[in-house]
Amino acid sequence: MLASPLALVDQPYLSSLYGALVERGARVEHYSGRRLRGGGWDVWHLHWPEQFLNRPQRVGVVLGNGARLLWSVGRARRRGVAVVWTVHNLGSHERNHPWLERAFWFLLTRRLDGIIALTEGGRRAARERFPRLVHVPAAVVPLGHFRKPVEAKLDRVDACRRLGVAADRQVVCFLGLIRPYKGVPTLVRAFRDLAEERAVLLVAGRPSTPGLAREVEAAAAGDPRVHLVLRRLSDEEIEDHLAAADLVALPYREVLNSSTAVHALSADRPVLVPAKGAMAELQESIGGEWVRLFSGDLDTGDLEQALDWARRSERSREAPLDHLSWPAIADATLGAYDQAIGHRRRRRERSGGP
What's 95's domain CATH number? 3.40.50.2000
The four Cα atoms 63, 69, 74, 78 give a dihedral, to 10 degrees, of: 150
- On whether both 235 and 261 belong to a single domain, the answer is yes
Q: Is the whole-model pTM more than 0.85?
A: yes
Q: Tell me the residue range of the domain where 309 lies.
A: 150-321
159 closest CA partner among 144, 146, 169, 147:
169
- In this predicted structure, the answer to whether residue 11 has a pLDDT above a threshold of 90 is no
- On whether both 139 and 98 belong to a single domain, the answer is yes
- On whether both 268 and 185 belong to a single domain, the answer is yes
- On whether both 160 and 285 belong to a single domain, the answer is yes
- On whether both 293 and 341 belong to a single domain, the answer is no
- On whether both 65 and 95 belong to a single domain, the answer is yes
For residue 269, the model assigns a pLDDT of 97
Q: To the nearest whole number, what is the mean pLDDT of the chain?
A: 94
204-209: average pLDDT: 96
Give the pLDDT confidence of 71-120 residue by residue, as tens digits. 999 999 999 999 999 999 999 988 888 999 999 999 999 999 999 999 99
What are the E-state strand segments in the chain? 2-4, 29-30, 43-47, 82-87, 114-117, 138-140, 170-175, 199-204, 226-229, 247-249, 271-274, 291-294
- On whether both 61 and 133 belong to a single domain, the answer is yes
315 close to 270: Cβ distance less than 8 angstroms? yes
- On whether both 9 and 131 belong to a single domain, the answer is yes
312 closest CA partner among 280, 279, 270:
270
- On whether both 31 and 123 belong to a single domain, the answer is yes
Give the pLDDT confidence of 115-144 residue by residue, as tens digits. 999 999 999 999 999 999 999 999 999 999
Q: What is the DSSP letter of 42?
A: -
Confidence of residue 151 (pLDDT cuts 50, 70, 90): low
Give the pLDDT confidence of 262-276 residue by residue, as tens digits. 999 999 999 999 999
| DSSP letters spanning 280-348 | HHHHHHH-TTTEEEE-SS--HHHHHHHHHHHHH----SS---GGG-HHHHHHHHHHHHHHHHHHHHHHH
For residue 142, the model assigns a pLDDT of 96
- On whether both 101 and 187 belong to a single domain, the answer is no
- On whether both 207 and 331 belong to a single domain, the answer is no
Residues 6+ apart with CB under 8 A from 57: 65
306 closest CA partner among 322, 318, 321, 288:
288
Question: How far apart (Å, rounded) are the C-alpha atoms in residues 221 and 192?
Answer: 10
For residue 150, the model assigns a pLDDT of 64
3-state secondary structure at position 129: helix
Number of domains in the chain: 2
- On whether both 176 and 112 belong to a single domain, the answer is no
